[in-house]
Chain A
Amino acid sequence: MKGGVLSAPGDYIYFKSQVPLHKIPIGSKQWRYYDFGPKVVPPLICLPGIAGTADVYYKQIMSLSMKGYRVISVDIPRAWNNHEWIQAFEKFLDTIDVHHIHLYGTALGGFLAQLFAQHRPRRVRSLVLSNTFVETTSFSASMPWAPIVGWAPAFILKRHVLSGIRDSPQEPFIADSVDFVVSQVETLSREDLASRLTLTADAASVGPLLLPDSSITLMDTNDYCATPQSLKDQVCERYPGARRAYLKSGGDFPFLSRPDEVNLHLQLHLRRVGVEARPDLIPGAPKDGSGGSSNEPNNGRKDADDSSENDKRDSETPPPAESAEPPLAPEATGSHDLDNQLLKMAKLSDDIGESVSPPLENSFFRDKQNLLVSRALLNVTCEFFILNMLPLYLGNCTFTGKVAVM
């Protein structure tokens, strides 16, 4: 359950060594994001749910960028209402000089993606929505303490954020995905959590989109997720012509538990809405015929190539082995390679131990520490105060809640 680099999955350590994390202030908002893949390709921007960070999409960033797609993944910034979110996101896009985007949003991220598509129709070219909703009234109803969320202590917020996730025994891949997300939630500050809960509870709904249904893919998991089925059904009813790329299983975080299937669906979606991958632009890619070879079968050579090259490599370039592959056939290779990478990286991390955490990571944690120290005092006093006051308030809420139910 504990987060941090040490217990992180091997392919995540590899990801951190390959893909730089960006942190920039834009206006009053701090943006934390990854941006990887050829800059000429219109990006797929991943928006996480309430319990996610930009990091939860690392498997998509790794796999799709190697196939020549540009993937951006962001932390939801600290916005306290929908309009603030829309304006902040627009400024972010302006700053990183991106105009037309494709959005992949899960849960709260899917809701925010739809809002942005509604209010900035010219920028959003397509949507992939996963386990999401079109209105938040049911959340605001179940969170009567929303008005004081800004003052609630972090542990209560964390508990609430993680409350919908099933904690019964799970199949290992799903269990691992939950562990990873929980470790990410541990890195979030009280303000981050409070703003997201406020966004979720900010009773609002998505209006009609200009985007045709044919540019929307719905990627719900069919087994279990925290988003109630009735809300997911509303999304289906809203976009009757959308493509239904359902997954049989995967739980709340299929991008972590079923990465090969999710990546396949994302690729099919991008192809359908006309985004062309540029595998030829991947640094370190072999130049021979990488553009034209898309119809040739690649007969299993990738495994051999990949492992031999990758073992030598340390950190400079993404592995070129996959990049030579046809843009659309390699659904499998992604998964194979990912598996291989997992194995290899597990080996690698054994070898290097903890000494090789990437430089970015270090500075990130140092910054964090400084911040934490100064914030700690404030938090302690604040939380002490609130802990004393909260029972009173909550008592009131449950009381009024009960009255309402009756």
Chain B
Amino acid sequence: MASRRRMLLKVIILGDSGVGKTSLMNQYVNRKFSNQYKATIGADFLTKEVQFEDRLYTLQIWDTAGQERFQSLGVAFYRGADCCVLVYDVNVMKSFENLNNWREEFLIQASPSDPENFPFVVLGNKIDVDGGNSRVVSEKKAKAWCASKGIPYFETSAKEGFNVDAAFQCIAKNALKNEPEEEIYLPDTIDVAGGNQPRSTGCEC
């Protein structure tokens, strides 16, 4: 009966304003890029059907306003997230330094059942700018930070579409690992027993 139901994977993109969150999402879903910057108001989302090991999944990708205070977005937005994508601009040091704040804020707001193993993916975006000459965050530095947290790292260019597909494939894969088997009914909004729910161990990439 429910065999044709598609699994829904919820992905949330976070990062400072102007690092290219919306552009990455648009490039991945619509294969479009616009040079015009338009601030995202509040939040918005796009969906994409992805196939993985003979099964179809609906990827629901939530894009946030970087300049918005976190608290104003709230639980509805984070509920049931399967993977969190942290984006920074390789040409702006501050956006890299803020990654940890975004990560911690996410864990507070979404309060996943197993925060230690909740899948994150970091994207260093805008590597195309100025032929890489204005770059201030080295790949080595970013990789070291991600390795210390066990987070996969990708360098991308939303403008040129470079590495975007590969990054989102990893994102979908990790989101999938986070999703419990659908036959087991696990309420993801409230913790009745107050204890830890059995979950598949998260991303170890």
Contact = CB atoms under 8 A, between A and B. Distances in A.
B4 A244 contact: no
A330 interface: yes
A202 interface: no
B42 A299 contact: no
For A229, A245, A249, A332, which residue has the most chain B Cβ atoms within 10 angstroms? Answer: A332
Contact of A248 (B4, B75, B80, B190): B80
B199 interface: no
A370 interface: no
A230 interface: yes
B60 interface: yes
A246 B77 CA distance: 13
A228 to B, nearest CB: 7
B72 A332 contact: yes
Looking at A223, A246, A264, A298, the one whose CB has the most chain B CB atoms below 10 A away is A264
A326 interface: yes
Contact of B74 (A228, A294, A333): A333
Given A297-B72, A330-B72, A333-B72, A229 B5 contact: yes
Interface in A220-276: 222-224, 228-230, 233, 243-246, 248-249, 258, 260-261, 263-264, 268, 271
B94 to A, nearest CB: 18
Contacts of A335: 74-76
Interface of A: 171-173, 222-224, 228-230, 233, 243-246, 248-249, 258, 260-261, 263-264, 268, 271, 294, 297-300, 326, 328-336
Interface stretch (B19-27, B43-51, B121-129, B158-166): B43-51
A376 to B, nearest CB: 41
B106 to A, nearest CB: 14
B159 to A, nearest CB: 25
A229 B1 CA distance: 7
A334 B8 CA distance: 24
B72 A233 contact: no
A299 B75 contact: no
Contact of B73 (A246, A263, A332): A332
Given A229-B2, A297-B69, A300-B71, A332 B77 contact: yes
Given A222-B8, A233-B4, A297-B72, A328 B77 contact: no
A310 B184 CA distance: 41
Interface in B21-62: 41-45, 47, 58, 60
- Enumerate the 7 nearest inter-chain pairs by beta-carbon distance, A residue then B residue, closest first: A332-B74, A297-B69, A260-B76, A328-B42, A171-B187, A329-B42, A248-B80
A235 to B, nearest CB: 13
Contacts of A229: 1-2, 4-5
Contacts of A233: 4
B167 interface: no
A222 B5 contact: yes
A178 B139 CA distance: 53
Contacts of A246: 8, 47, 58, 60
Max chain A C-beta neighbours (<10 A), residue from B44, B45, B58, B74 = B74
Given A297-B72, A299-B71, A331-B43, A244 B58 contact: yes
Contacts of A173: 189-190
Nearest to B2: A229
A173 B191 CA distance: 12
Given A249-B187, A249-B188, 14 more contacts: A173-B189, A222-B5, A224-B2, A228-B1, A246-B8, A248-B79, A268-B43, A299-B71, A326-B42, A328-B43, A329-B72, A330-B42, A331-B76, A332-B72
Given A246-B8, A249-B80, A297-B69, A336 B74 contact: yes
A344 B127 CA distance: 51
A283 B118 CA distance: 44
Interface string B171-202: 00000000000000101111010000000000
Nearest to B6: A222
A128 B77 CA distance: 19
A371 to B, nearest CB: 40
A328 B47 CA distance: 20
28 contacts: A171-B187, A171-B190, A172-B190, A172-B192, A173-B190, A222-B5, A224-B2, A229-B5, A233-B4, A243-B47, A244-B47, A245-B45, A246-B8, A248-B79, A248-B80, A249-B187, A261-B76, A263-B76, A264-B76, A294-B41, A326-B72, A329-B68, A330-B42, A330-B74, A331-B74, A331-B76, A332-B72, A335-B75
B65 interface: yes
B75 A332 contact: yes
B117 to A, nearest CB: 19
Nearest to B73: A332
Q: Please indicate which of the listed interface residues B5, B60, B76 has the most CB atoms of chain A within 10 Å of its own CB.
A: B76
Of the candidates B69, B73, B189, the one having the most CB atoms from chain A within 10 angstroms of its own CB is B189
B76 A332 contact: yes
A260 B74 contact: yes
Of A230, A245, A294, A329, chain B has the most CB atoms within 10 Å of the CB of: A329
A260 B75 contact: yes
Contacts of B8: 222, 246, 248
A111 to B, nearest CB: 21
A331 B79 contact: no
